[in-house]
């Protein structure tokens, strides 16, 4: 991928990702409502909520948490830019980690009981999904001989053929990353939250709006990872990849609505077992055939 396409990728991401992400959230809420036998809000409701948040009274619990939340947004956007510029997968994963740490630190800084428990749970979730995410990057590298996304999407092979186990494992931990039940331990949009709003308890108004938009940016490149399993040099593969992305997101909504929240022990046990079985075995086979 040359400089021009990289710049186009970044520009498109910066402008379109929040729109697509917000729309996805709206569709999510609509489908969830239908699954629960409700009519549901308008599809554009997330945007209405966003603008409403901006108009709230500006209050905060300390002088620093807004700074951390802003850094969270900045580094989420940078992560996405690396992704859509065709950058290095490991660089993307490490930048994403940095961004997530800023959010956790913002919650810790409030020294509020609910926010802190949310922050500790968020950390636990990160520890749960991190191995599988890294294994995914290793898998792509072994298949394509490169960590660069620009090489992966122009490769002659379709990664899913070699990485079926890793794909399933990634979809599994995507439930955590997309903050879906049963693993929405640290925070959630739903009412079944025993920790008030967990991680985000002490955020309000504009700060909350920043977190919302950051999540829209984040969700887009998370689905981008799913895209990578299917996209390659073939002309029709991007279409297939987008369809699979949407199907995956639908599956996550389905899981979200069919499971009650589980205990944190189950989240970490299940994620690590998945990483060791599906991820490790898939890697072993890759090393064996190469």
Partner 1 sequence: MSTIFFLILFPFVVALALLVLKTDAARDIIVKVASIVIAAASIYLTVQYFSSGGKYFEFESETISYLMMGIEVCLAIMIFYLGIKYKKYLASVLAAIQTPIMIWFELSIGHHIHIANNLYVDRLSIVMVLIIGIIGTLICWYSIGYMKDFQHHHHGEADRRPWFFFLMFLFLAAMFGIVVSNNLVWLYFFWEITTLCSFFLIGYTKTKEAINNSFKALIMNLFGGLGFVLAIVVLGKFYGTLELNQMLAMGMMGVSVVLPTALLAFAGITKAAQMPFNSWLLGAMVAPTPTSALLHSSTMVKAGVFLVVKLSPVLGWNIAGIMVMLVGGITFLMASFAAISQSNAKRVLAYSTVANLGLIVACGGIGTYAAVWAAIMLIIFHAVTKSLLFLCVGTAEHNIGSRDIEDMDGLFGRMPKLATFMIVGISGMFLAPLGMLISKWAAMKAFIDSGNVLLVMMIVFGSAATLFYWTKWLGKMVAIMAKRENIQQNVHKEEWLVLTSLTVLTVVICLVFPVMSSFLVVPYLETIYQSVAALALSSGNMYIMSAMLALVVLLPLLFYGKTNKRIVPIYMAGANLGDDLTFRNSMQQPTSVSLRNWYMEDYFAEKRMNIIGVIATVVVLVAAFSILLGGVL
* Residues at the interface with partner 1 (CB under 8 A): 57-64, 66-68, 70-71, 74, 78, 82, 87-88, 90-91, 94-95, 97-98, 101, 104-105, 108-116, 119-120, 123-124, 126-128, 130-131, 134-135, 138, 141-142, 196, 201-202, 268, 272, 275-276, 280, 283-284, 287
Least Cβ distance, residue 129 to partner 1 (angstroms): 8
Pick 134 or 168: Cβ nearer partner 1: 134
Pick 46 or 169: Cβ nearer partner 1: 169
Least Cβ distance, residue 274 to partner 1 (angstroms): 13
Pick 107 or 244: Cβ nearer partner 1: 107
| Inter-residue contact 220 to 242 (CB < 8 Å) | no
Pick 77 or 245: Cβ nearer partner 1: 77
Least Cβ distance, residue 30 to partner 1 (angstroms): 31
Q: For 190, what's the count of Cα atoms within 13 Å in the CB-facing half-sphere? A: 22
- Residue 148 gets which letter from DSSP? B
Three-class secondary structure of residue 88 per DSSP = strand
Least Cβ distance, residue 242 to partner 1 (angstroms): 28
Pick 40 or 164: Cβ nearer partner 1: 164
d(CA 65, CA 80): 23
Least Cβ distance, residue 24 to partner 1 (angstroms): 27
Tokens of 41: 């809000």
Least Cβ distance, residue 286 to partner 1 (angstroms): 9
Nearest to 173 by CA among 222, 129, 218, 225: 129
Q: How many residues does the chain have?
A: 290
| Inter-residue contact 238 to 154 (CB < 8 Å) | no
Cβ neighbors of 229 (< 8 A, separation 6 or more) are: 158, 159, 160, 163, 167, 170, 241, 244
Three-class secondary structure of residue 56 per DSSP = coil
Pick 128 or 152: Cβ nearer partner 1: 128
Peptide bond into 182 cis (omega under 30): yes
Peptide bond into 56 cis (omega under 30): no
| Inter-residue contact 261 to 191 (CB < 8 Å) | no
Least Cβ distance, residue 116 to partner 1 (angstroms): 5
Three-class secondary structure of residue 193 per DSSP = coil
d(CA 141, CA 139): 5
Nearest to 27 by CA among 163, 219, 191: 219
Least Cβ distance, residue 84 to partner 1 (angstroms): 15
Pick 25 or 274: Cβ nearer partner 1: 274
């Amino acid at each position: 991928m040359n400089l021009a396409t990289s710049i186009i990728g970044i520009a498109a991401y910066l402008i379109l990702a929040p729109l697509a992400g917000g729309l996805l959230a709206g569709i999510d809420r609509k489908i969830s409502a239908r699954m629960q036998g409700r009519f549901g809000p308008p599809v554009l409701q997330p945007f209405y909520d966003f603008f409403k948040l901006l108009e709230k009274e500006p209050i905060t619990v300390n002088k620093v948490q807004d700074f951390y939340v802003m850094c969270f947004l900045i580094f989420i956007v940078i992560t996405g830019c690396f992704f859509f510029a065709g950058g290095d997968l490991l660089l993307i994963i490490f930048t994403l980690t940095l961004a997530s740490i800023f959010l956790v630190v913002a919650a810790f800084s409030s020294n509020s009981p609910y926010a802190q428990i949310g922050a500790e749970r968020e950390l636990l979730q990160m520890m749960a999904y991190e191995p599988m995410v890294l294994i995914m990057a290793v898998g792509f590298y072994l298949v394509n001989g490169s960590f660069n996304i620009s090489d992966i999407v122009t490769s002659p092979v379709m990664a899913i053929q070699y990485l079926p186990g890793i794909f399933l494992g990634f979809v599994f931990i995507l439930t955590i990353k997309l903050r879906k039940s049963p693993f929405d331990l640290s925070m959630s949009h739903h009412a079944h939250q025993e920790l008030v709003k967990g991680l985000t308890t002490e955020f309000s108004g504009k700060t909350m709006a920043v977190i919302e938009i950051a999540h829209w940016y984040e969700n887009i490149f998370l689905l981008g990872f799913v895209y990578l399993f299917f996209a390659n040099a073939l002309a029709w593969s991007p279409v297939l990849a987008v369809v699979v992305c949407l199907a995956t997101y639908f599956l996550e909504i389905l899981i979200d609505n069919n499971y009650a929240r589980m205990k944190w022990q189950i989240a970490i046990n299940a994620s690590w077992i998945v990483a060791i079985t599906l991820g490790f075995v898939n890697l072993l086979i890759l090393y064996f055939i190469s």
